[in-house]
Amino acid sequence: MTSSVNRNAEAIRKYGLFIDGKEVPTDRLMECMNPFTGEPWAMVADAEEADVDRAVAAARSAFDEGPWHSLTATQRGALLRRLGDIIKRDAEELARIESTDNGKLYRETFGQWQYIAEHFYYFAGMADKLQGDVVASDRPNFFIYTRREPLGVVAAITPWNSPGLLLTYKLAPGLAAGCTFVVKPSEHASVSTIELGKRIKEAGFPDGVYNVITGQGRIGAALVKHPGIDKVAFTGATETGKAIAASAAQNLTRVSLELGGKSPNVVFADADLDVAANGAIAGIFGASGQTCMAGSRLLVEESVHDALLEKIVALSRKIRLGDPISSDTEMGPMANVPQFNKVLEYLDVAARDGAVVASGGAADSENGGLFIEPTILTNVTNDMRIAREEVFGPILSVIKFRNEAEAIALANDTRFGLAAAVWTQNIHRGHRVAHQLRAGTVWINAYRVVSFAAPFGGYKESGIGRENGLDGIREYTETKSVYVEMTGEPRDPFKLG
């Protein structure tokens, strides 16, 4: 299939807003830069607060009174299945669009968009499985039951690293539950979110169910504080998540926040070091380190520290940097200039604090642009900034430990708690340590594996709430209790019950 994306910017695409099932043109536009070429390849709308009002009104109308309001859960499931089919059909084009927008490897974005279709199939099947309960009443004259009802209008605010997948974490369960959406993607990667709107329209979803407003951060702030929003679902930096929670609290708007991480990858001496080395490389250099669950801290039992370090340094030096669209490329550029500069600043900070570069350690001069070498740092202690703060780039900090108790203490000594991994051939130790790690996802002898069926989210400052699985869809519902009086006899108006 020939992609319609023109990566040489010979014909720059222009996108308006997507509101109430229609593309809304505007003269206010922002450039989208291809991080590999450094050239603009598309332009998207730079929305104003009045556009936020229009998008929220469309979503509110669809939820309260439109055709969406009257659909059964089974009918919603059918629409989700149809959307999954369309996404699977167009996965190649959507992947090329996303890789052009944020520099992520095409082979990864293509795999993600194929898997996104599976998310919609999964939640299509769950749409009419959301059941209430019959409550064992303590009052013989009352029948009590509960209903799970859709929460309402959701503001989904998504990041630039995996815009399609991380939107799907919110959109698939939310639509299955019966909610409507206003989406604010990152200004650094908006195009795939707009393109998804066209597929949602083709699938037959009623107008107003899915709306997209693009623009700078002020637009996201206006959306969060809007009184017409019932829930904010956000993925991004922890400090931004805190600001969103504070703003949403003014209207008591519900929030789910999937935030940052400083995830430990714990390798014991009895681990298969070749397997663990591959896992460490995948955990930090996959997506160029630009992932919230990156295994940025490698905790290694001191007796195998040198042997494992030798293996991961050798593997890191073989990583091929280049055009993210090429099938030969193994690591792409930073997604945007601010992130590129941030990662370089952290390399300077690490050097000042005493970390030693074992491999990499600088911008990549051969490829130029926004590339940073896959970097491994040794002589790192857990109190250094490089070990405490989220870098969101290809920097691995290697830290020694002496025994299991110290490994657990070091792993948990962080304000984050998104993910962690344990590498050992001792099944007892694997489970024992996994149970003691304070993280929302723990892998044993694996890293960076997710499923639409398993809840995903963080402990501590890594977030609030869960995405995916049964826990994920419940985040988009309210529970209502219904009391039915059984006798029809008059009651004492001054007596409770």
Whether the per-residue pLDDT at 317 is higher than 50: the answer is yes
Q: Are 39 and 128 in contact (CB under 8 A)?
A: no
pTM exceeding the 0.85 threshold for the entire prediction: yes
Which residues are known to be catalytic? 258, 292
Q: Which residue has the tokens 């996994």?
A: 434
Give me the pLDDT at residue 203, please: 98
Closest CA to 475 of 303, 294, 258: 258
Average pLDDT, stretch 182-207? 98
Q: What is the pLDDT of residues 330-346, one digit of tens each?
A: 999 999 999 999 999 99
- pLDDT tens figures, 202-212: 999 999 999 99
Q: What pLDDT, on the 0 to 100 scale, is given for residue 1?
A: 31
pLDDT at 491: 80
Both tokens assigned to 366: 């051969």
Share of the chain above pLDDT 70, in %: 98
142-150 vs 477-485, strand pairing mode = antiparallel
Task: Work out the pLDDT band at 497, boundaries 50, 70, 90.
Answer: low
- Per-chain mean pLDDT for the chain: 96
Distance of CA 50 to the CA centre of its chain: 28
Please give the average per-residue pLDDT across 252-269, as a whole number.
98
Each residue's pLDDT tens digit, 80-127:
999 999 999 999 999 999 999 999 999 999 999 999 999 999 999 999
In this structure, the dihedral spanned by the alpha carbons of residues 12, 15, 16 and 19, taken in order and rounded to 10 degrees, is: 180
Find the helix or strand (DSSP H, E) in which 267 lies: strand 264-267
Residue-wise pLDDT tens digits, 19-66: 999 999 999 999 999 999 999 999 999 999 999 999 999 999 999 998
**What is the set of domains in the chain, with CATH numbers?**
13-259+458-480 (3.40.605.10), 264-444 (3.40.309.10)
Distance CA 450, CA 459 (A): 17
